[in-house]
Amino acid sequence: MLSLKSTEILRLGVANLLVHPGRSVLTMLGILFGVCAVVATLAIVEGISLKMQEEVLKMGATNIIVAARKPAESQSASTGDQGHALAYGLTYDDAERIQSSIQGASVIVPARKIPVTARYLTRRNRVEVFGTVPWYTETYGIEVTQGRWLAPLDLKKMDNVTVLGSSLAVELFPHEEPLGKVIWLGENAYRVIGVLAPRGSGSAGAGGEDFDHVAYIPLTAASRRFGNVILDRSVGSHSFEMCELHEITVKLKSAEQVRPAARIITGLLEKFHDPKKKDWEVQVPLDRLDALERTKWLFVVLGVSIAAISLLVGGIGIMNIMLASVTERTREIGIRRALGAKRRDIVSQFLVETVVLSTLGGAIGVFVGVLMAWGIPWALARVAEILKVGGEAALSNLSRTVVTPGAVILALSASIFVGIASGVYPAYRAAQMDPIRALRHE
């Protein structure tokens, strides 16, 4: 289509831009900032998204979590009615039914959660007692820093042993060695056999559970010592609850099995639980990943729209300068036309200039954007340090940014597009000039 070899036109364009290097650089800035904004925004969104994905994956992508939920109408029934215990939640029968119906489930972990007060000497602490089974660790990657995790024998013997979450261990034993010490969980004494590494609070979709402020005990011990009735005095007025199991985690061998299995479990629970009083919930972490993906795209679209405005302004800047340049070079256009340049030669000459400008601006913008993406977490960490802000949680989502090839390609193609779009009109104006008048132009 072009009558000249493209390298020749490119060389000519670059030469013309170098005639006014300062002007060219200033013209580029708009695109540079726009592209820089695109790259940095996408890097931040990608970083947040990855971090949230990791947190969901902590719950296990091949897991299905069946959780007990207090039915909605139970609130009024329980308060003030002390003689009547609210019965709800999952049962051991449910666990057995799930076990027998799901093929390919590698582990099934039942669990109970009981809120109690933990005491050691004079120190007390509201904690959640988590009655579970030794194979809990196979579903959730748990790391023991001191002592050991619950053993099958502990379960069988209904031993009063406990493994402490990391922050609970520090609160109860700020100075002492926790291993072998005896603490009180509610009415009973338990021997500390292990301490876990910090697991972090599942801020992203894990229901805000604090995994570190938990005392783990054998499930058998939990039902024996605490019974199935739980007296909760935490909110002034007390209420009774009856709940065999609070949670059943089903671990499958592969992610493809998760959704069919979740349907089977939902079916089972619908069949055996009162449909008017839904007291259970099936959580699929994999579904949360999908929801996360959608949220991420929302932010991508938002971020890119804002950056697009900057690119638009940059494009208008280029167009403005090019229109001025076309007027300024009217005579040159006339000369070139007289010496044999066709209209399309003139069009390509000016288009090449805008595209070179915007592409170069885009390339530098990508570079600066990558630097920014790299610098933002670092700068935030420094700011947090200086201000002594403990709000790590708030900043932790920005602790990592990821520049994807897709973001770079998007930014570069956007800048090339802006170059073409902003160059078309000035180039057209230049090409439409009458050569005779252009030659006379002073």
How far is residue 214's CA from residue 167's CA, in Å, rounded to a whole number? 8
CB 430 to other proteins: min, Å: 14
Query: Which residue, 250 or 431, is less far from other proteins as judged by CB?
Result: 431
Of 322, 304, 307, residue with least CA distance to 419: 322
Distance separating alpha carbons of residues 130 and 114, to the nearest angstrom: 7
Using alpha carbons, list the distances in angstroms from residue 300 to 34, 42, 69, 303, 398: 15, 6, 35, 5, 15
Closest contact distance (angstroms) between CB of 344 and other proteins is 8
Nearer to other proteins, 19 or 394 (CB): 19
Check: CB of residue 197 under 8 Å from CB of residue 166.
Answer: yes
How far apart CA 61 and CA 7 sit, in angstroms, is 52
Minimal distance in Å, beta carbon 327 to other proteins? Answer: 15
CA angle 148, 142, 166 (to 5 degrees): 75
Q: Which is nearer to other proteins, 283 or 348 (CB)?
A: 348
Q: Which residues bind other proteins (CB under 8 A)?
A: 3-5, 8, 12, 15-16, 19, 331-332, 334-345, 435-436, 439
Q: Which is closer to other proteins, CB of 8 or CB of 392?
A: 8
CB of 337 to other proteins, least distance (A): 7
What's the min distance (Å) between Cβ of 321 and other proteins? 16
Q: Which is nearer to other proteins, 84 or 437 (CB)?
A: 437
Complete edge-to-edge strand list for the sheet that includes strand 229-235: 86-87, 237-242, 229-235
Strands (E), 280-356: 280-283
Closest contact distance (angstroms) between CB of 8 and other proteins is: 7
Q: Which is nearer to other proteins, 288 or 329 (CB)?
A: 329
| Nearest Cα to Cα of residue 245 among 368, 127, 114, 103 | 114
